[in-house]
Amino acid sequence: MAFEIFSPGREVRGVLFDMDGVVLDTEKLYARFWREAAEEQGFCMSYEQALGMRSLNNEAGQAQLERYFGTGVSRKRFRQIRIRRMDEYTEQYGVEAKPGIFELLTFLEERGIPKAITTSSPPERVEKYLKPLGLYDRFDRICSGHQVPKGKPEPDIYLYGAQCVGVESEHCIALEDSYTGILSASRAGCMPVMVPDLDQPDGKTRALLYGKADSLLDVIGMIGRRTE
């Protein structure tokens, strides 16, 4: 099935987009370079552990690394290495847009539905990644976790994104690819929709979802159903 709806929804008046793994095909790079950052420091991080680092704020990320490797590890050091290695890669190869993003944005523009990026990434990285693809100016607002008191999985970024597009959070679909992001959107009162990237939703994730779409093209059908 192209999309599934798990719970009663509300009229869709706004759409909030996570960036990495939803708009951009970059989560595979984060997973790779989290693991390389661990290796550089003498740790062995599994692929599943790398996925567990997605979208976490500083406090949650530090706690996660301590669960993996014990006390004394530094998220700041891990992140410095991961950023350096990923920057070296993207400077050479760039990043790719996820299939269907341009079509979905056009659909939303035609319907007059406001849209925003709601990402954990810093604003300068958002601009660096989106501008070369012609995507930066396609969003009404760019909202970063660095602009709110607490990052994901806290609800701040989604509450801020809804405020920025002038729509109550309960009337915003939030497009995410990870449990951390889904939890953040759910806590904000949004309608969380998972567009799976590197993994499928498990039980605890599905319990929070309004729906699941196989691709961004399938989100068009889902939103059309809620706005007709």
pLDDT in tens, 135-180: 999 999 999 999 999 999 999 999 999 999 999 999 999 999 999 9
- What global pTM score does this model have? 0.90
Matching CATH topology for 3-25+97-227 and 27-93?
Answer: no
Query: Domain extents for the chain?
Result: 3-25+97-227, 27-93
User: Whose CA is closest to 5, among 178, 173, 117?
Assistant: 173
What's the rounded Cα separation, in Å, for the pair 119 and 157? 8
pLDDT in tens, 87-139: 999 999 999 999 999 999 999 999 999 999 999 999 999 999 999 999 999 99
Average pLDDT, the chain: 94
Dihedral angle sign, alpha carbons of residues 74, 90, 33, 153:
positive
**Which of the four pLDDT bands, split at 50, 70 and 90, describes residue 1?**
low
pLDDT at 6 over 90: no
Q: Which fold has domain 27-93?
A: DNA polymerase; domain 1 (1.10.150)
Residue 87, number of CB atoms within 10 A of its CB: 13
Q: Which two tokens stand for residue 208?
A: 């929070």
Which CATH number is 3-25+97-227's, of 1.10.10.10, 3.30.365.10, 3.40.50.1000, 3.40.50.720? Answer: 3.40.50.1000
134-149 CB burial, b ≥16 within 10 A, e <16: ebeebbbbbbbbeebe
